[in-house]
Chain A
Amino acid sequence: MSFPHNAWLESQRGLIDFSIANLGRRRGRNLGLFLAYTLLVFLLASVVLYGDALRREARLLLADAPELVVQRLTAGRHDLLPAEWLDRVRGLRGVRAAEGRLWGYHYDPAAQANYTLLAPNDAPPAPGQVEIGAALARASGLDVGDVLSLRGFDGKPFAFNISRVFEAESELVSADLMRVNAADFRAFFGVEPDLYTDLALSVANPREVRKVAEKVLDRLPGARVIAREEMRRTYEAAFNWRQGVLLTFLSTILLAFALLAWDKASGLSAEERREIGILKALGWDTGDVLRMKLWEGALVSLCAFLVGYTLAWLHVFYADAPLFTAVLKGWSVLYPQFRLAPQIDLAQIATLFFLTVLPYVAATIAPVWRAATLDPDEVMRE
């Protein structure tokens, strides 16, 4: 590689040569620093990439969720609601359609897992049949044609024939689902025919959702109305920078980085201070010393940033983020296997860059500037 001959460029090259030689002299220490720095960027970038991708995925998957869900609250808790509520909300102006939803949970002691049972209004399975999520099929070791036997509300065994296992691609929404017929659902849970878990409303004009929600509450004071926008915000909040999933990871990472930067900023070693004194005695001015140290910090942090970001990319989008899976899984027995699509933008990279590279470079320069402004004789005698 050849560089154009320019006095300024040549002087910068000289400074970089010196910085590289300097880094090489304390190889072990600098390699350790580089690895720690890379790990830090890797964790931080993994968190940001994973969180952004999850948030985007949840937003897109739930884009067509019911516009309004109406629950009945009894003593402050969710309760089954009577079918006559359907007629009461159907008559409201602005409500295009209203359907009763039937869904609930079942804990299977054999698999030690919670299943979500659902009786869909659209294309329900035949009586006695069940369609199950891929994670449920994996955990229970069952497949199409097998019999899934569970104990109903009264303790009597209930046998479902598995007619379908959902495609792995939809696992993020269907991992633990059991789709059954409404009559089977009611028989299994002992739910009376005139009761529903909640209501799903679609609204004619999307801009009137809030108005319709108010009308529902006027007509059904014991109800709780959840708008699609609120469902979306729940997940926005959970995967946001400042809350939930990300905060859990970020807090430790940011603390580690603050420690690293503080350690750097708290001072130079005696050897480094003597070295700066010698350089100044040899005729280097303060600016040269600062530029040399700036190059040193910039090279380490830039390389660590780029290597860390690349590793984070591979970790999240090619290795399915094994570091996060362990945390997200918690005590869940059924855990979806899913791939995420990246949501990348330059602002995100720039934010990460400013969060990691700039504080480090600033922390490196500050103590050097203090040492470089002192008299060389004084520095060497310390």
Chain B
Amino acid sequence: MTPQRKRRGSTLAMWALGLCALALLLILLDSGRLAALHAEALRQGQARAMSDQLTDPALFTEARFARHASQADRHAAFQDHPMALEHFPAGSLMPPPDATALMPPP
């Protein structure tokens, strides 16, 4: 009877790394598949945005400065004045626009 050979740690490590790398490869392939699946939804969203002349996504609907961030008052998210206490949680996610980025180039 031959003694059972113990599996070497390096073999296990290579298998684990190989499996993880395979998962990464599948992710890269999956990204193309998901993008193709999403194309129709994106087209419908674009058509709605174009026909209704929409300017903002409906991601934050709790406050007007967050619902239409691009159309909000200049000092939104702090709606009342620049030092005002922020009322809505969305204010921490949707900062006021960067004034320097919106300035015309010299």
List residues of A whose CB falls within 8 A of some B CB: 1, 12-14, 16-21, 24, 54, 57-58, 60-66, 69, 71, 76-78, 99, 101, 105, 113-114, 116, 118, 120-123, 133, 135, 166-167, 169-177, 179, 198, 200, 210, 224, 226, 230-231, 233-235, 237-238, 243-245, 248, 299, 302-303, 306-307, 309-310, 313, 317, 327-328, 330-336, 338-342, 344, 349
Contact = CB atoms under 8 A, between A and B. Distances in A.
Given A120-B51, A169-B45, A299-B17, A62 B56 contact: yes
A20 B34 CA distance: 37
B76 to A, nearest CB: 10
Contact of A306 (B12, B20, B70): B20
B61 A17 contact: no
Nearest to A77: B73
A62 B39 CA distance: 15
Contact of A341 (B12, B15, B28, B38): B38
Contacts of B5: none
Given A317-B34, A331-B89, A60 B46 contact: yes
B14 A310 contact: no
A317 B70 CA distance: 27
B35 A237 contact: no
B51 A66 contact: no
Contacts of B70: 226, 230-231, 234-235
Contacts of B27: 309-310, 313, 344
A173 B54 contact: yes
Interface in B42-87: 42, 44-64, 67-71, 73-74
Contacts of A78: 71, 73
Nearest to B48: A170
A16 B10 contact: yes
B62 A99 contact: no
Question: Among B15, B39, B46, B94, which residue has the most Cβ atoms of chain A within 10 A?
Answer: B94
Given A20-B9, A173-B45, 14 more contacts: A19-B9, A57-B57, A116-B61, A122-B52, A169-B45, A170-B41, A231-B71, A248-B92, A302-B20, A317-B34, A330-B60, A330-B93, A336-B58, A341-B39
Nearest to B104: A210
B57 A310 contact: no
Interface string B1-44: 00000001111111111001101100110110011011111101
Q: How large is the interface on B (under 10, 10 to 19, 20 to 34, 35 or more residues)?
A: 35 or more
Nearest to B39: A341
A335 B62 CA distance: 9
Contacts of A309: 24, 27
A17 B7 CA distance: 10
Given A238-B93, A306-B23, A171 B17 contact: no
B14 A1 contact: yes
A302 B13 CA distance: 11
Contact of B8 (A17, A123, A170): A17
12 contacts: A17-B10, A65-B54, A172-B58, A176-B67, A235-B70, A245-B93, A303-B16, A306-B21, A330-B88, A330-B93, A332-B90, A342-B34
A76 B73 contact: yes
Contact of A235 (B24, B28, B57): B57
B93 to A, nearest CB: 5
